[in-house]
A and B are shown apart, each in its own frame.
Chain A
């Protein structure tokens, strides 16, 4: 499969590159990968990374190296919504273990897996900087904080509804 940015995406890409001095366009790699991941299927297939490499005039391996280093880039297909639940110290002492167990049971998946309907992926992550509002998880751009079992229920229902509509 080949990938191409549409006009709006390309305009955003150009805006990102313009922030850096002449010849330093590689600096735009991280934001460009975010853009690519958001613009297509929520993950980065090799062809998409190659496309970005071409746009930034760098070698594909430079993109692979970066994409595999940072935890926010998905190198495998993911569900429509990713529940990224924090499990580090402050969240743990505030009860994140129970929340993680509850989500697993509720969605019938293990961490790293995607539900059969392809809607939800569960990912355990390390500290997201919301320690005062623990336990918490990130869904897309949004932080869901002060999680309880009831709150998890309503979050799942909320996202499921956006798909079935």
Chain B
């Protein structure tokens, strides 16, 4: 990439240089942390995905250096490419926070909230999203939507009521298998994932729809109700597989393999293999290799300390012991960044004035002078 192809983009007051063609979301992910908008439908490894869920909406307050006009509406950061000099507001925009709260409410409107019996609980993106942006009460007082049940065969379990119609599984079938048998049927609020005629999904790579599903709509039938993910220990492992890369994460309890998934990165997407291709795994690895002897164990998988899955598993790296890394160390070497300078917003907190000495009904000095008890 030559020099002139780098675009400067500022997101939540943090400036970064990215190659032309990078989306706002990808640029924000490079910055990381809270600056990265949540994404429920976008999946960088699936062509054509994104734009639908509207959770990643951001405000473009400056279009580019050439054309500084702000964009009139909030835009889907996953499908908007950066322009040189663009300025974007994510968590620093009230409009975004408000719109996102709306989107979360819409996504949860007809969601059954059956997390206690849902296998996805603990690794569900909708759970995370609701935790961060949702409200504890619903304003929806009508009956929630239900669907006719569809059986997708012996490996994949479909719970249509939990689906948020991200279309990721449709793209997966289109791009990973040679024959798609499931799709989106009907339209509007009745739209559903289905096969129309009862048909099992049994392409060698179709199991990946489970990994891409952000919610508990498509889950692993061979793992159904077997355990909760936070009781399991994720272990990186591999095998010499003739079909796929064979690089997986085993979800164990003791030595027992409960579940096999692809390895996922911090955004919940399938990790690339060393040759730079997405590490999709085949059905044989996923559903049929449930013995420790089938695998060469590489070691425990790193899990974000914030994840419920990390609870109580591995001391030191993650878990209950107090971390001793610095902020910069866990943040890829970056120092804490000022998202908003309070002094731009408030006249009260001037840097040269000690908070305790602000004039008011009483302050530190008043207390000290009047403190007659302290003789």
> Interface of A with B (CB < 8 Å)?
46, 59-62, 64-65, 68-69
- B342 interface residue (CB < 8 Å to A): no
Cross-chain contact B196 with A61 (CB below 8 angstroms) = yes
Tell me the bound Cα distance from A68 to B148 in angstroms.
Answer: 15
By a CB distance below 8 angstroms, the chain A residues around B196 are 46, 60-61, 64, 68
Cross-chain contact A59 with B180 (CB below 8 angstroms) = yes
- B197 interface residue (CB < 8 Å to A): yes
Q: Which residue of B lies closest to A64 (CB)?
A: B196
By a CB distance below 8 angstroms, the chain A residues around B197 are 46
Cross-chain contact B186 with A61 (CB below 8 angstroms) = no
12 A–B contacts, CB within 8 A, in A order: A60-B181, A60-B196, A61-B181, A61-B195, A61-B196, A64-B183, A64-B196, A65-B183, A65-B184, A68-B187, A69-B186, A69-B187
By a CB distance below 8 angstroms, the chain B residues around A46 are 196-197
Tell me the bound Cα distance from A79 to B180 in angstroms.
Answer: 33
The B163-206 residues at the A interface (CB cut-off 8 A) are 179-187, 195-197
Tell me the bound Cα distance from A46 to B197 in angstroms.
Answer: 8
Q: A61 CB to closest chain B CB, in angstroms? A: 4
Cross-chain contact A68 with B185 (CB below 8 angstroms) = yes
Q: Which residue of A lies closest to B196 (CB)?
A: A64
Cross-chain contact A65 with B185 (CB below 8 angstroms) = yes
Cross-chain contact A62 with B183 (CB below 8 angstroms) = yes
Q: Which residue of A lies closest to B186 (CB)?
A: A68
By a CB distance below 8 angstroms, the chain B residues around A62 are 180, 183
Q: Which residue of A lies closest to B187 (CB)?
A: A69
- With contacts defined as CB atoms under 8 Å apart, how many contacts are there between chain A and chain B in the complex? 27
Contacts beyond the supplied A65-B185, A68-B186: 8 A-B pairs with Cβ under 8 Å: A46-B196, A46-B197, A59-B179, A61-B183, A61-B196, A64-B185, A68-B185, A69-B186
By a CB distance below 8 angstroms, the chain B residues around A60 are 181, 196
Cross-chain contact B180 with A61 (CB below 8 angstroms) = yes
By a CB distance below 8 angstroms, the chain A residues around B184 are 65
By a CB distance below 8 angstroms, the chain B residues around A59 are 179-181
Q: B182 CB to closest chain A CB, in angstroms? A: 7
Q: A76 CB to closest chain B CB, in angstroms? A: 13
Q: B282 CB to closest chain A CB, in angstroms? A: 21
Give me the 7 closest cross-chain CB pairs, A-B, nearest first: A64-B196, A68-B185, A61-B183, A65-B183, A68-B186, A69-B187, A46-B197
Q: Which residue of A lies closest to B194 (CB)?
A: A64
Q: B222 CB to closest chain A CB, in angstroms? A: 25
Most buried by A among B183, B186, B187: B183
Tell me the bound Cα distance from A62 to B181 in angstroms.
Answer: 9
Q: A4 CB to closest chain B CB, in angstroms? A: 20
Tell me the bound Cα distance from A69 to B192 in angstroms.
Answer: 11
Q: B168 CB to closest chain A CB, in angstroms? A: 16
Tell me the bound Cα distance from A61 to B196 in angstroms.
Answer: 8
Tell me the bound Cα distance from A51 to B102 in angstroms.
Answer: 44
Most buried by B among A59, A60, A61, A64: A61
Q: B201 CB to closest chain A CB, in angstroms? A: 11
By a CB distance below 8 angstroms, the chain A residues around B183 are 61-62, 64-65
Q: A56 CB to closest chain B CB, in angstroms? A: 15
Q: Which residue of A lies closest to B188 (CB)?
A: A69
Q: A70 CB to closest chain B CB, in angstroms? A: 8
By a CB distance below 8 angstroms, the chain B residues around A65 are 183-185
Tell me the bound Cα distance from A59 to B183 in angstroms.
Answer: 11
Tell me the bound Cα distance from A6 to B345 in angstroms.
Answer: 76
By a CB distance below 8 angstroms, the chain A residues around B186 are 68-69
Tell me the bound Cα distance from A62 to B185 in angstroms.
Answer: 10
By a CB distance below 8 angstroms, the chain B residues around A69 are 186-187
Q: B202 CB to closest chain A CB, in angstroms? A: 14
Tell me the bound Cα distance from A73 to B179 in angstroms.
Answer: 25
By a CB distance below 8 angstroms, the chain A residues around B181 are 59-61
Q: B249 CB to closest chain A CB, in angstroms? A: 31
Q: A84 CB to closest chain B CB, in angstroms? A: 17
